[in-house]
A and B are shown apart, each in its own frame.
Chain A
Amino acid sequence: MAVKAVVPEAHAATGPTPPPAIPGYDWTQHRWGFGVDATKCIGCLRCVEACKRENDVAADAHHFRTWVERYVYLEGEDKPRIDSHHDPVNIEASGSEGEYRFANRYKDAKVEKAFFVPKLCNHCTHPACVQVCPTGATYKTEDGVVLIDHNYCIGCQYCVQACPYGARFFNERKQVTDKCTWCYHRITKGLQPACVEVCPVGARIFGDLKDKQSPISQFIRNNRTYVLRPESGNAPNVYYVGIDKDVV
Chain B
Amino acid sequence: MPKHISRLIILLVTFGAAAYAAKVFFTADSFYAYGHYRGKSVAEIASDKPKYKGSEYCQSCHAERYAEWSKGVHHSVEIGKVVQCEVCHQAAGGRDAGGMFQHVATGIDHPASGKLPVPTDSLKLCPLCHEKMPGRPAEQRQIVIATHAGTQQCTACHNPHSPRMIVVAGAAAGQAETGAMGKAAICAGCHGGEGVSVNPVWPNLAGQHSAYLVDALKAYRTGARQSAMMSATAAGLSDADIQSLSDHYAAMKLKVAASAAGSASAAAGKAKADTCATCHGAEGVSGNPAWPSLAGQQKDYLVGALKAYQEGVRKNEIMAGMAKGLSDADIDALATYYSSATVH
Please list the residues of chain A having a beta carbon within 8 angstroms of any beta carbon in chain B.
2-3, 5-8, 11, 17, 20-22, 25, 27, 39-46, 50, 53-54, 56, 70-72, 95, 101-102, 104, 106-107, 109, 111, 114-116, 136-142, 147, 149, 151-152, 181, 183-186, 188-189, 191, 194, 197-198, 200-202
B3-39 vs A, Cβ < 8 Å mask (1 yes, 0 no): 0000000000000000010011001011111111111
Interface pairs (9), CB distance under 8 Å:
A2-B24, A5-B24, A6-B29, A20-B39, A107-B132, A136-B36, A151-B38, A181-B45, A200-B84
**Quick check: is B226 within 8 A (CB to CB) of the other chain?**
no
Residues of A within 8 A of B32 (CB): 3, 6-7
Residue from A5, A54, A142 in contact with B51 in the complex, judged by beta carbons closer than 8 Å: A54
Residue from B30, B133, B137, B140 in contact with A104 in the complex, judged by beta carbons closer than 8 Å: B133
Inter-chain CA distance A106–B90, complex, in Å, is: 29
Residue from B46, B80, B84 in contact with A185 in the complex, judged by beta carbons closer than 8 Å: B46
Contact assessment for A54 and B43 in the assembled complex, using a CB-CB cutoff below 8 Å: no
Contact assessment for B90 and A40 in the assembled complex, using a CB-CB cutoff below 8 Å: no
B133-145 vs A, Cβ < 8 Å mask (1 yes, 0 no): 1111100100000
**Quick check: is B259 within 8 A (CB to CB) of the other chain?**
no
Contact assessment for B47 and A185 in the assembled complex, using a CB-CB cutoff below 8 Å: yes
Q: From known contacts A20-B42, A25-B46, A200-B83, infer whether A111 and B134 are also in contact, taking CB-CB under 8 Å.
A: yes
Q: From known contacts A8-B29, A185-B48, A197-B52, infer whether A107 and B38 are also in contact, taking CB-CB under 8 Å.
A: no
Residues of A within 8 A of B131 (CB): 104
Dominant secondary structure of chain B at its interface with chain A: loop
B157-185 vs A, Cβ < 8 Å mask (1 yes, 0 no): 00000000000000000000000000000
Name the distance in Å between B171's Cβ and chain A's nearest Cβ: 27
Q: From known contacts A8-B29, A54-B91, A188-B46, infer whether A198 and B52 are also in contact, taking CB-CB under 8 Å.
A: yes
Residue from A115, A152, A191 in contact with B37 in the complex, judged by beta carbons closer than 8 Å: A152
**Quick check: is B82 within 8 A (CB to CB) of the other chain?**
yes
